[in-house]
A and B are shown apart, each in its own frame.
Chain A
Amino acid sequence: MFSNPLIYFVVIPVIMLLGLYLSRSMAHIRTVAVTGSLCLLGLSIWLLVDYLGLRAAGAEGAMLYRGDWTWFSALNIKLSVGVDGISIAMILLSSIILLTGSFASWKINPLPKEFFLWLILLSIGVFGFFISIDLFTMFMFYEVALIPMYLLIGIWGTGRKEYSAMKLTLMLMGGSAFLMLSLIGIYYNAGLDSWNILDIAQADSIPHSWQYFLFPMAFVGFGVLGAMFPFHTWSPDGHACAPTAVSMLHAGVLMKLGGYGCFRVAIYLMPFAANELAWIFLILTGISVVYGAFSACVQTDLKYINAYSSVSHCGLVLFAILMLNTTAMTGAIMQMLSHGLMTALFFALIGMIYGRTHTRDIREMGGLMKIMPFLAVCYVIAGMASLGLPGLSGFVAEMTIFVGSFQETALLNRVFTIIACCSIVITAVYILRVVGKLLLGPVQNEHHLELTDATWWERTSTVTLIICVAAIGCFPNFFESLIRTTFSADIFKVIGM
């Protein structure tokens, strides 16, 4: 079992938990968190390189690094692992955000040990989810990732934290209920006595009549986490009240669980229904894209602006996945990567600004460029990435999505593609509004003049994220080909499109 490298994505966090148990001071806790997440990052980079090497050497199969270990034989539940290009991209994203999140919570107070405990538990769920290919264990890890959120927001949050934590958890649990029904339905109707995604997809044996029923449930179940309209309202409140690192992980990684699940479970396993019912969700996600952007235009709380912008950007992810063609789906995964990185950057910066000014209301701030130039410049870069400036990651992802979506000739797809394109203008409006009000112009509050610029751990966190955003933006073909080859070779063969 321990010869499989993937298992270490779960083992390392468990060791981190042990280390955390033994830590006696803040320094120890930081050491554990940073060393552990560095190990995870190293492992995921190694995995990427090794994966590309194996593929280049001609390794066949939809997934590599396969491993199966029986867990509960009466119900055929196994711990099955395996990764392809998409999961590797997601794992890489998660480890980067975990690392930067650890730096961003350098001075977390109170109860630092407990905070990191839940944060690491959450990351076990995230990594477990991305490496699993057994529906049951996948769902288990999914739940492991969701529950710590309740405590993280409820204890370390700000504002109406209890309300938000409750709302977030209940709404996501509601999604999980649909999801579980759907997963059990898939298991029984596929008739394979197996929870393995690859086997079920290969057999394609779920009756079409059942697919009509199971597909929407699975899609909505994951769609709730992907902030799909009208199930997105947990996101603004949840993000606004969450502590910095939790916002980062949540928007950066957890929301990607939704998109990834929509693709890996709903569409991959039930391609027939996906083709037939895509139009319903296309309309909903198309609305998400412009709706989120318009809502963001009038918000005054920095985190609300960003949360609505996430609704818009994540809507684009689901929108592109539903186009069911290689280019658009590649774009969707790129958008997940891109959005994960830049939104984590945004939340990190907002947390740092909030930590200094103790307000997130843009009406009460102004001219921060003069006071904290480093943070302000980073904020502008994040904004530029968000509004799709070439050379940063947002542009690449959005353009791939638009070009891919436009290849679909159906009128509905065309119309909604054009509507989605409009988001590039609205995004520019709300990003520049914030930049103009918050960073530029005269200083609003004289007390802010005494504030300091970023500390070294804050710089580490933001610079790492900016480098990643710029790397994707400047050399997109590396990432795109990693994802595109996964789609064209292995997945569309199965779906038969």
Chain B
Amino acid sequence: MNPIIPLLILCLPLLGFLVLGLLGHKMSHKAAGWYGVLSMGTTMVLAYITAATYFFSNDAAFITEAGNRLQHIIFNQDWLQFTDSLIIRLGFLLDPISALLIVVITTISFCVHLYSLGYMEGEKGFQRYYAFLQLFSFSMLGLVVATNIFQMYIFWELVGASSYLLIGFYYTRPSAVSASKKAFIVTRFADLGFLIGILILSYVTGTFDFTDFTSVQDGSSYAVALNTPMGILARFQGATFMGCSLLTWALVLIFMGGMGKSAMLPLHIWLPDAMEGPTPVSALIHAATMVVAGVYLVARLFPLYLMEEAALMFITVVGAITAFYAAVVACTQIDIKRVLAFSTISQIAFMMVSLGVARPEFHESLGYMASMFHLFTHAMFKALLFLGAGALIHAVHSNDYTAMGGLRKYMPITHITFLIGCLAIAGIPPFSGFFSKDEILSACYQQSWIWGAWMSMVAGLTAFYMFRLYYLIFWWDEPDYGHHKPHDGPWVMSLPLVFLAAVSCVAGFIPFGTLVSWNGVPYHIHIDWMGVALPSIIIAVAAIALATVMYRKKNSLPEKFAKASCGLWTAAHNRFYWDEIYLFITHKIIFNGICRPIAWFDRHIIDGSMNGLAWLAQRLSITIRPLQSGSVQAYVYIYLFGALLLGAITTACVLL
């Protein structure tokens, strides 16, 4: 494949960032905005061309005669050489998941660029906003096409920084500033684990390259043969640390990076606060693209994770707990963006669990395909929901559902598209979420019925809190909107909504198994109607029915329910006090317990001893200063005394 197109996919957003960042203040809002949209649109078309070429061209570089998909490196440029084998390269790796992700990222990014033309109209710093969007898109694209783990880390950090800039876009608001700071520091802490994991992995294997982790000799597929003595596994043998093998440690630490970016418990606390950013940004970064980077990371290293069941088990447990926790909290939030944020956390946890339960024994790692499928569908319907929420906020100028209600009459387009999003996430056929969630649940049941039942329950909660939100916004009781009745946004805002809603309707019918699988071998998915699909539909419908009863019309049921829940509701509303715990640890323990004492120690003990030394020298000189009094008599006395002393010593020596 010609490397020009992939290169342009990376360079256009970067160029956009530089142009808008350096020259943006000379452009008008309109020019800057349309430049950003066009740049992203071109990138999107190029990404579609690339992905289509990869999936459908039957090129020998991409697919074998037998129909197995291959990993293909389009270009790979040395960027920084550490040792002979450890080299950071910047390259472009094309395989099923990277091809999928560039499509997702450019699509959502384009929608958000277009949507922002309306949403951000007239905002101060409009050009800066578009520059940051371009920077983010560049970083995210660089992350997913990484050919080696260090390239991924580089772009991982850039993604974090652009997220910081975008969350803190309204930089005069203290809440936005602290939210952006929190997001950066929490993810940075997670990245520390990622970095140490990379260090361990690269030290043992002597390589950063993904293809070295996955390729085998026979050329039929690119996954590792698990038991080859020459493989990566052999290099880890014997080395253990605290009872776990080094590989487990490396993989768990790398996953910690993923937990930070994907907001898994207990590193999830930054994501709800990140909603301080402009809403389109939340749609792009905190729903569809950046937060799935952790899932992508695990999927990318999946062959390695397969070698360590313990690491996969860890992922499953973390994912399952997070999914439940976030779903419960989402049922109680007032701010509609926070409901969506917790819903995102929960849905990403679904993908994590799906990866965690995937094993080659079960339907060629069905869970792997399912998580990528869900990643795709979730990106579409969650972006749709966020953009819809943006339209609502744009219309009523508030984030709280208490300021909304009965909006179905005023905002028909937003209403219909939001409903489609809710149906999709709730898992009602034929909307896309049903298909992907069904695959995840199947994968869970194949591993163990416990995971299956647990995740089915979370799926039921999902349907409940989404329809709670839907009814509270579009039905419930209508507040007084005054003279300016809310209305749908301009076409640049409605078009992305309609487009994403359309995708959410049909995306479920994509034969995903033939496109994406963990080792490139295609297979056909089938839906287990009786075992998995039907029960989950029943659960979803029941949950929706419950939500309808409770929230369709203004009534006192929700309040009674909250009162009857013995404080559970309050605890969930306060997100189970995670923020307070963190505040205690960071502020009381680290800041007051470590930083302050160290600073005090430095000023008073270390510096004090230096000053003490100086003081000592001064005292010493003051003590002996009287000897040099300048008075001749004193000198004569000293002279006499000295002479006598010397004389006495001499005499004593001679005599004895």
Interface residues of A (CB under 8 A from B): 167, 170-171, 229-230, 232-234, 237, 291, 294-295, 297-299, 326-327, 367, 369-370, 384, 387-391, 395-396, 399-400, 402-404, 406-407, 417-418, 421-422, 424-425, 428-429, 432-433, 436, 439-442, 476-477, 480-481, 484
Contacts of A387 in B (CB 8 A): 188
| Interface of B (DSSP majority class) | helix
Select from chain A the residue with minimum beta-carbon distance to B87: A477
Q: Give Cα A399–Cα B177 distance, bound, in whole angstroms.
A: 28
Residues 286-317 of chain B: 1 if any A CB is under 8 Å from the residue's CB, otherwise 0? Answer: 00000000000000000000000000000000
Select from chain A the residue with minimum beta-carbon distance to B88: A399
Q: A407, B83: Cβ atoms under 8 Å?
A: yes
Q: Does B638 touch A at the CB level, under 8 Å?
A: no
Q: Which one of B82, B172, B606, B610 contacts A167 once the chains associate, using CB atoms below 8 Å?
A: B610
Contacts of A326 in B (CB 8 A): 83
Q: A295, B599: Cβ atoms under 8 Å?
A: yes
Q: A407, B203: Cβ atoms under 8 Å?
A: yes
Q: A441, B171: Cβ atoms under 8 Å?
A: yes
Q: Does B318 touch A at the CB level, under 8 Å?
A: no
Contacts of B19 in A (CB 8 A): none
Contacts of B189 in A (CB 8 A): 425
Q: Give Cα A424–Cα B190 distance, bound, in whole angstroms.
A: 11
Select from chain A the residue with minimum beta-carbon distance to B150: A399
Contacts of A403 in B (CB 8 A): 82-83, 86, 199, 202
Contacts of A369 in B (CB 8 A): 171
Q: Give Cα A391–Cα B139 distance, bound, in whole angstroms.
A: 11
Q: Which one of B181, B602, B606 contacts A436 once the chains associate, using CB atoms below 8 Å?
A: B181
Select from chain B the residue with minimum beta-carbon distance to A232: B606
Residues 344-388 of chain B: 1 if any A CB is under 8 Å from the residue's CB, otherwise 0? Answer: 000000000000000000000000000000000000000000000
Add 8 more A-B contacts to A421-B192, A425-B189 (CB < 8 A).
A170-B614, A294-B598, A389-B158, A389-B161, A407-B83, A418-B196, A422-B192, A440-B171
Select from chain A the residue with minimum beta-carbon distance to B203: A406
Given contacts A171-B610, A327-B82, are A424 and B199 in contact (CB under 8 A)?
no
Select from chain A the residue with minimum beta-carbon distance to B80: A476
Interface pairs A-B: 9 shortest CB-CB: A390-B154, A233-B607, A440-B171, A297-B595, A406-B199, A440-B177, A428-B188, A294-B598, A298-B595
Given contacts A295-B602, A389-B158, are A400 and B185 in contact (CB under 8 A)?
no
Q: Which of B82, B150, B191 gathers the greatest number of chain A CB atoms within 10 Å?
A: B82
Q: Give Cα A425–Cα B161 distance, bound, in whole angstroms.
A: 13
Q: Give Cα A481–Cα B81 distance, bound, in whole angstroms.
A: 8
A selection of 27 A-B contacts at a CB cut-off of 8 Å is: A167-B610, A229-B606, A232-B606, A233-B607, A294-B595, A295-B595, A295-B599, A295-B602, A297-B591, A298-B595, A298-B596, A389-B157, A396-B80, A400-B82, A406-B199, A406-B202, A406-B203, A421-B196, A421-B199, A425-B189, A428-B184, A428-B188, A441-B171, A441-B174, A442-B174, A477-B80, A484-B81
Q: B81, A425: Cβ atoms under 8 Å?
A: no
Contacts of A233 in B (CB 8 A): 602, 606-607, 610
| Interface of A (DSSP majority class) | helix
Q: Does B155 touch A at the CB level, under 8 Å?
A: yes
Q: B82, A433: Cβ atoms under 8 Å?
A: no
Q: Give Cα A295–Cα B605 distance, bound, in whole angstroms.
A: 13
Q: A291, B610: Cβ atoms under 8 Å?
A: no
Q: A384, B161: Cβ atoms under 8 Å?
A: yes
Contacts of A481 in B (CB 8 A): 81
Q: Give Cα A403–Cα B591 distance, bound, in whole angstroms.
A: 29
Select from chain B the residue with minimum beta-carbon distance to A299: B599
Select from chain B the residue with minimum beta-carbon distance to A398: B195
Q: A390, B157: Cβ atoms under 8 Å?
A: yes
CB distance from A461 to the nearest CB of B (A): 18
CB distance from B187 to the nearest CB of A (A): 9
Q: A298, B591: Cβ atoms under 8 Å?
A: yes
Interface residues of B (CB under 8 A from A): 78-83, 86, 88, 150, 154-155, 157-158, 161, 164, 168, 171-174, 177-178, 181, 184-185, 188-189, 191-192, 195-196, 199-200, 202-203, 591, 594-596, 598-599, 602, 606-607, 610, 614
Q: B80, A480: Cβ atoms under 8 Å?
A: yes
Q: Which one of B79, B81, B181, B607 contacts A433 once the chains associate, using CB atoms below 8 Å?
A: B181
Contacts of B86 in A (CB 8 A): 327, 403
Contacts of A297 in B (CB 8 A): 591, 595, 599
Q: Give Cα A439–Cα B172 distance, bound, in whole angstroms.
A: 9
Q: Give Cα A433–Cα B586 distance, bound, in whole angstroms.
A: 13
CB distance from B196 to the nearest CB of A (A): 6
Q: B602, A432: Cβ atoms under 8 Å?
A: no
Q: Give Cα A7–Cα B352 distance, bound, in whole angstroms.
A: 64
Q: Which of A234, A298, A387 gathers the greatest number of chain B CB atoms within 10 Å?
A: A298
Given contacts A403-B202, A429-B185, are A477 and B79 in contact (CB under 8 A)?
yes
CB distance from A374 to the nearest CB of B (A): 11
CB distance from B618 to the nearest CB of A (A): 11
Q: Give Cα A417–Cα B188 distance, bound, in whole angstroms.
A: 17
CB distance from B139 to the nearest CB of A (A): 9
Select from chain B the residue with minimum beta-carbon distance to A328: B82
Q: Give Cα A442–Cα B595 distance, bound, in whole angstroms.
A: 26
Q: Give Cα A400–Cα B86 distance, bound, in whole angstroms.
A: 10
Contacts of B598 in A (CB 8 A): 291, 294-295
Q: Which of B80, B88, B155, B196 gathers the greatest number of chain A CB atoms within 10 Å?
A: B80
Q: Give Cα A400–Cα B161 distance, bound, in whole angstroms.
A: 21
CB distance from A394 to the nearest CB of B (A): 11
Select from chain A the residue with minimum beta-carbon distance to B608: A233
Contacts of A441 in B (CB 8 A): 171-174, 177
Select from chain A the residue with minimum beta-carbon distance to B139: A390
Q: Which of A295, A370, A384, A403 gathers the greatest number of chain B CB atoms within 10 Å?
A: A403
Q: A424, B80: Cβ atoms under 8 Å?
A: no
Q: Give Cα A230–Cα B199 distance, bound, in whole angstroms.
A: 29
Q: A294, B192: Cβ atoms under 8 Å?
A: no
CB distance from B183 to the nearest CB of A (A): 10
Q: Give Cα A439–Cα B174 distance, bound, in whole angstroms.
A: 11
Contacts of A229 in B (CB 8 A): 606
Q: A402, B199: Cβ atoms under 8 Å?
A: yes
